Structure 1
Amino acid sequence: MILAPCNPKVSAPGLDVVSVNIAWGGIHYVLVEAASVGLTIKHKHGPELVKLDELIKAAVIESFEPNEMHGVVILEWTELLQPEADGTNTANNTVIISPRRLDRSPCGIGTAARMAVLHARGELKEGETCKHRSIIRTEFICQIQGMTKVGE
């Protein structure tokens, strides 16, 4: 479930305006393209990704009504979806876990949130395979099986 329009912009101290996506995959996630802050998802950039994590999350919470963003605690750094020769889409990511650690797994809940964002953008369709790859190259292979609506 997407909680905010795709790519709302927030301003954080010491950063230019940053586009974010806010999604629910079992918990609230703030998703940010690493390239938007001049970084890639590599170990050498880990300290910088961790440093920017708190600044961007604070900016997101400040930019939205408190009731909308209550509980935003996780930021997921992403890279653009890349097609492989077999038609599979690959998406790199890393999640910052408090206190100040990079998640080594592809992050199951973060994968659900990321797939919701990719689908909302039209970048991942139902039935298409996606490899969601972590900073250490482990991956979840997943698909959106269908859509449903809950409540209003």
Structure 2
Amino acid sequence: MNEPRGGVFKHCNIILEPSHKNADAGFIIMEPEDNPPMSGSNAICVTTVLLEKNIIKMQYPTTELTLEAPGGLIKVIATCENKKVKSVTLTNLACFADKVDVNLKTKNFGSIKVSTAFGGDSFLICNANDFNLKIEPKNAKKFVNIAKELLREANLTIGFEHPTIEGLNYLSFCQFVEPLEKNTKSILTGLNTVVIRPGKLDRSPCGTGTSARLAVMKEKNEIQINEEFISRSIIGSTFKASIEKEVFINNKNCIIPRITGSAFITGKQNLYIDKDDPFPEGYRLNDTWPDL
């Protein structure tokens, strides 16, 4: 996602004909640095565009689709009204907690408790309180800088390897969480922020991050099957989430999460490559791309 067509803050989904016979559409997730196996917020965006732009015919009151993400098949149910997708509920890949409440030794922060999990991609999960930070917009840059050290140390000393997704042998994202609480309706809720390479925060509550957190919560007996959980982001956006069921895959206790959220089409853009363009693959500078 290089400039000038992309950038640090731009993500893109390429919609393709599916390779799996049971899928209605396939999509490849393009982030600034990575192509993850799955993304909840991107799956919600793709579903919204497919239906609102009539690429796939919208059904009322719900449209059920199967999407082929790089990591596998995803079932989605879109709630539709007046040619609009009001919400999308997706059933994620099998997710699991890998290591729970283990010690991570760091140079600048001492020894801290962390967990690792797969929620559609690999996550290092840390408590924001351990760094005396609240998850709020004014601390965004601080979380980014802390995450770089934590991920570097965690990949060296804790590690991660997915049993079936080839090449996923590292921790991709760092998720900071605040303690769980009950809202005024006695529904379990939690605030999080996820750092995405090369150095920015997810603006959504992060579907894969929420799924990874659910896996750790289930391992720690903090949530039950079908119990509602509201995942909140640093800007106040929310996903409704729950655990549909538990499964045992590749000698691992896994969960199947459900995530519900909404997306909104904000514009249309055409991108081109001129045959005379001296930079057909784009470029990067460290005024916006960190760590170059």
Task: Tell me, yes or no, whether TM beats 0.5.
Answer: yes
Give, in whole Å, the separation in 2 of the partners of 1:71 and 1:15. 22
Q: 1:137 deviation in Å?
A: 0.7
After TM superposition, the structure 1 stretch with the greater mean CA deviation from structure 2, 53-62 or 65-74, is 65-74
State the one-letter code of the partner of 1:59.
E
1:3 aligns with 2:102: no
1:24 aligns with 2:123: no
Task: Return the match for 1:70 from 148, 160, 169.
Answer: 169
State the one-letter code of the partner of 2:97.
I
Question: Which has a greater percent of helix?
Answer: 1
Hey, what does 2:146 align to over in structure 1?
Answer: 52
Q: Structure 1: where are the runs of 5+ without partners?
A: none
State the one-letter code of the partner of 1:31.
I
State the one-letter code of the partner of 1:58.
R
Kept after mapping to 1: 8 A contact 2:231/2:238? yes
Task: Return the match for 1:127 from 204, 211, 226.
Answer: 226
Hey, what does 1:110 align to over in structure 2?
Answer: 209
| 1:37-61 Cα deviation digits (max 9, x unpaired) | 1111111111111110010111111
Hey, what does 1:142 align to over in structure 2?
Answer: 241
Give, in whole Å, the separation in 1 of the partners of 2:189 and 2:248. 27
State the one-letter code of the partner of 1:42.
E
Q: 1:31 deviation in Å?
A: 0.5
Q: 1:67 deviation in Å?
A: 5.3
Deviating 4+ runs (over 3 angstroms) = 65-69
1:33 aligns with 2:132: no
Q: Structure 2: where are the runs of 5+ without partners?
A: 1-95, 163-167, 252-292
- Relative contact order (alpha carbons < 8 A, sep ≥ 6): 1 or 2 greater? 1
Give, in whole Å, the separation in 2 of the partners of 1:15 and 1:105. 27
SS of residue matched to 2:244: coil
Give, in whole Å, the separation in 2 of the partners of 1:91 and 1:72. 22
SS of residue matched to 2:176: strand
SS of residue matched to 1:136: coil
Give, in whole Å, the separation in 1 of the partners of 2:138 and 2:185. 30
Give, in whole Å, the separation in 2 of the partners of 1:36 and 1:83. 21
Hey, what does 2:155 align to over in structure 1?
Answer: 61
Q: Percent identity?
A: 25
Structure 1 residues 115 and 65, CA, compared in 2 at 3 Å: closer, same or farther?
closer
State the one-letter code of the partner of 1:22.
T
TM-score w.r.t. the length of structure 2 is 0.50
Kept after mapping to 1: 8 A contact 2:159/2:171? no
Task: Return the match for 1:13 from 96, 104, 107.
Answer: 107
The structure having more radius of gyration, on CA atoms, is 2
SS of residue matched to 1:112: helix
After TM superposition, the structure 1 stretch with the greater mean CA deviation from structure 2, 142-151 or 61-70, is 61-70
TM-score w.r.t. the length of structure 1 is 0.93
Q: 1:65 deviation in Å?
A: 5.5
Question: Which has a greater percent of strand?
Answer: 2
